[in-house]
Amino acid sequence: MPAYVLKNVRPLGGDATDVVLADGVIAAVGADAPAPEGAVVLDATGHVLLPGLVDLHTHLREPGREDAETVESGTRAAAAGGFTAVHAMANTSPVADTAGVVEQVWRLGQEAGWVDVHPVGAVTVGLAGDHLAELGAMADSKARVRVFSDDGKCVHDPVLMRRALEYVKAFDGVVAQHAQEPRLTEGAQMHEGVVSAEIGLAGWPAVAEEAIIARDVLLAEHVGSRLHVCHLSTRGSVEIVRWAKARGIAVTAEVTPHHLALTDELARGYDPTFKVNPPLRTADDVEAVREGLADGTIDIVATDHAPHPVEDKDCEWASAAFGMTGLETALSVVQEAMVDTGRLTWADVARVLSTNPARIGRVDDQHGRPIAVGEPANLVLVDPAATRVVDGAAQQTASVNTPFRGRTLPGRVVATFLRGRATVLDGTPVVAA
């Protein structure tokens, strides 16, 4: 594994300097820092260096839906998007509700070698919402699970939710809730509002998300546990989380790139690429989640990368699957929505896409670290001045359901480093020798 010198790079978007990576760590920082013999010198003039991105919410689909994605293809996509760690959601087949399945996913991640894969454990057996899964055994397994979620389904029973919140305290875990009141969303196809009424699709009201978040922050307060809110999408949800944080409740929240950028107006074309759960909301909700991310109410951006095979998307809206890909566009969408609009600095981007998700997922011993000598060299090099036209077929993910297809987005991941090894160079994944 060669050493690397990143010449004239801007750590966290600050002043240009040189950064040397050797033996898996950041070996030196400073203009003309001494480099080991044989080091590969990369001219990084104008490029921004961030800690490797950490996704708290990725669907890798393996085991069970390898036609949509495998651990290998999904983590290759993650590396291409600048990630060095992902949390793999539990709604696989079989469900990741036992130590055996989470260890299998963890091992597949190790074998692929693109990023660190941290499996999420299911909260309930089979995501069925009836009985708690073996949370302790998953926590104690080789996969060291700390994040538990029935994502795709809401843990609806308040007694089970309470028990899960109590149980995970024993190993410093967190319950990540997919906040969706099932009765209020039966048959729902898109956001309930003016557009759904005009085009005649059944609506998913904001209150179905907000009611669960309100209940869960109160439960988290009652039992003194950590709650994480997945893919928050409405103004009301931002207000509830803001209230809960002011009250001292240990709640964290995520927003997806698509909820920062897209609205329910896109449903007018009946293109199921834009069908997602929770649904794309209104322009006012988009404004509210941007404000919430800027003021720290929302802690992180998580992709909710949800690959689906063509046959599950290339059909009429009502029968199409919910979900869109996101790993390879996340950083560009955040740049366009938040950095280029002056709402976040690059240091803030490092916070919401690396430091905070690493801390919430308890992988902050390796990820989301400062750019300083001796730290693990988990890093991403970004060219913010570049632009590109998104082409689903040209991406690393095995699925093409990107809502940004054909759009010109700013920024390009030039290189990604996992413990000093380049997983991506010149924008292209590098197969390990």
| The two structure tokens encoding residue 225 | 């546990």
Site string for ligand NCD, 279-308 (x = CB under 6 A): -------------------------x-x--
Has 61 been labeled as part of a binding site?
yes
Has 299 been labeled as part of a binding site?
no
Q: Is residue 181 near ligand NCD by the rule CB under 6 A?
A: no
- Which residues lie closer than 8 Å to 189 by C-beta, 6 or more apart? 196, 201, 202, 203, 204, 275, 279, 317, 318
CB of 253 to ligand NCD, least distance (A): 15
| CA angle centred on 286, ends 351 and 227, rounded to 5° | 50
Q: Is residue 399 near ligand NCD by the rule CB under 6 A?
A: no
Tell me which of Zn ion, ligand NCD, none is bound by residue 91, counting a contact when its beta carbon lies within the kind-specific cut-off of 5 to 8 angstroms.
ligand NCD
Strand partners, 51: 379
Which of 17, 70, 75, 91 is in the footprint of ligand NCD by CB under 6 A?
Answer: 91
Question: Is 304 tagged catalytic?
Answer: yes
| 126 CB neighbour count, 10 Å cutoff | 15
| The two structure tokens encoding residue 20 | 């040397």
Q: What are the φ/ψ torsions at residue 245 (nearest 5 degrees)? A: -65, -40
**Single-letter amino acid code for the residue at 412:** R
Which of 65, 156, 178, 191 is in the footprint of Zn ion by CB under 5 A?
Answer: 178
| The two structure tokens encoding residue 251 | 């709640």
Q: Which is nearer to ligand NCD, 185 or 297 (CB)?
A: 185
Q: Is residue 304 near Zn ion by the rule CB under 5 A?
A: yes
Q: In this structure, is the dihedral angle defined by the CA atoms of residues 61, 65, 69 and 75, taken in order, positive or negative? A: positive
CA 386 to CA 251: how far, in whole Å?
A: 36
Q: Choose the stretch contacting Zn ion; rule: CB under 5 A; options: 3-11, 199-207, 304-312, 335-343.
A: 304-312
Q: In this structure, is the dihedral angle defined by the CA atoms of residues 359, 357, 293 and 9, taken in order, positive or negative? A: positive
Residue numbers 93-152 binding Zn ion by CB under 5 A: 151
Q: What is the total count of residues that contact ligand NCD (CB under 6 A)?
A: 11
SS3 292: helix
Tell me which of Zn ion, ligand NCD, none is bound by residue 146, counting a contact when its beta carbon lies within the kind-specific cut-off of 5 to 8 angstroms.
none
Q: Choose the stretch contacting Zn ion; rule: CB under 5 A; options: 75-83, 177-185, 186-194, 332-340.
A: 177-185
CA 430 to CA 421: how far, in whole Å?
A: 9
Has 18 been labeled as part of a binding site?
no
| Marked catalytic residue, from 18, 216, 264, 304 | 304
**What residue is closest to Zn ion based on CB?**
178
Q: Is residue 323 near ligand NCD by the rule CB under 6 A?
A: yes
CA 371 to CA 247: how far, in whole Å?
A: 33
Residues forming contacts to Zn ion in the complex (CB under 5 A) are 151, 178, 304
Residues forming contacts to ligand NCD in the complex (CB under 6 A) are 59, 91, 151-152, 178, 276-277, 304, 306, 322-323
Q: Which residue numbers are catalytic?
A: 304
